[in-house]
Amino acid sequence: ETGVTQSPTHLIKTRGQQVTLRCSSQSGHNTVSWYQQALGQGPQFIFQYYREEENGRGNFPPRFSGLQFPNYSSELNVNALELDDSALYLCASSSSGGQGGKSAFGSGTRLTVV
Amino acid sequence: AQSVTQLGSHVSVSEGALVLLRCNYSSSVPPYLFWYVQYPNQGLQLLLKYTSAATLVKGINGFEAEFKKSETSFHLTKPSAHMSDAAEYFCAVSDGANYGGSQGNLIFGKGTKLSVKP
């Protein structure tokens, strides 16, 4: 089975710019969650997409937005980048089936804002 | 609100020694608990998870964790450390929200970096 893939792996952007990060979910998974992991910290939940709709959101401003496509892949968009947005962005896909459902993380996109 | 506290940001053990990484959680509902490992410049790999079945959970690579409700703990152990165990370990709790039937969002601790000395 194909795992979770994220692109690009690394990205450098200038403050104020916009960025789009992409995630292909693992085969058989219909839910995608995005996390931000700042240096030296644990991942923080940004939001989750299920059936192409946002289905839960963490404490992130509206300039963080996303999409899920019919094939369950997903995008994370961040507008008006700030220096503090520099982090590893992780995508996790999972399947329906309650708390015992399977999930998997991608290797992440390392975003640097200068 | 749920939360996770990992005691000790860095733990160093000798190869062959016992590994013990501590995690305490706070939850108003029966929690689902997870341990993940992260190698440098990598994503997260699930080691094991507790989902209200057996309190002693066995995971990959010889790791196991015991859910102790009275202590609100879910410590990770491995009897004998190997050099390849050097990585960062994260404990996480699910907020229990039934987001479309999946595991909801995960609330992570700040991580414990494990070093293994030869």
Tens digit of each residue's pLDDT (9 = 90 or more) over A83-100 = 999 999 999 988 764 444
Q: How far is B46 from chain A (nearest CA, A)?
A: 8
Contact predicate A89/A109, CB 8 Å:
yes
pLDDT-flagged residues of chain B (< 50): 99-102
Confirm or reject contact between B114 and chain A (CB < 8 A). no
pLDDT of residue A45: 92
**The token pair that represents B83 in the structure block:** 């050099």
Q: Which value, to the nearest 10 degrees, does the dihedral of the CA atoms of residues B70, B71, B73, B79 take?
A: -100
The upper half-sphere exposure of residue A8, i.e. CA atoms within 13 Å in the direction of its Cβ, equals 9
pLDDT of residue B99: 47
- A101 to B105: CB separation less than 8 angstroms, yes or no: no
Q: Which of A52, A60, A99 to mutate to test the interface with B (most CBs of B within 10 A)?
A: A99
Residues in chain B with CB shorter than 8 Å from the CB of A92 are 44, 106
Q: Which residues make beta-bridge pairs with B94?
A: B32, B106
Give the C-alpha distances (Å, rounded to integers) separating B10 from B84, B89, B91.
16, 10, 14
CB pairs under 8 A between A and B: 85
Q: How far is B106 from chain A (nearest CA, A)?
A: 7
Confirm or reject contact between B7 and chain A (CB < 8 A). no
pLDDT of residue B28: 76
> Is the pLDDT at A19 greater than 80, yes or no?
yes
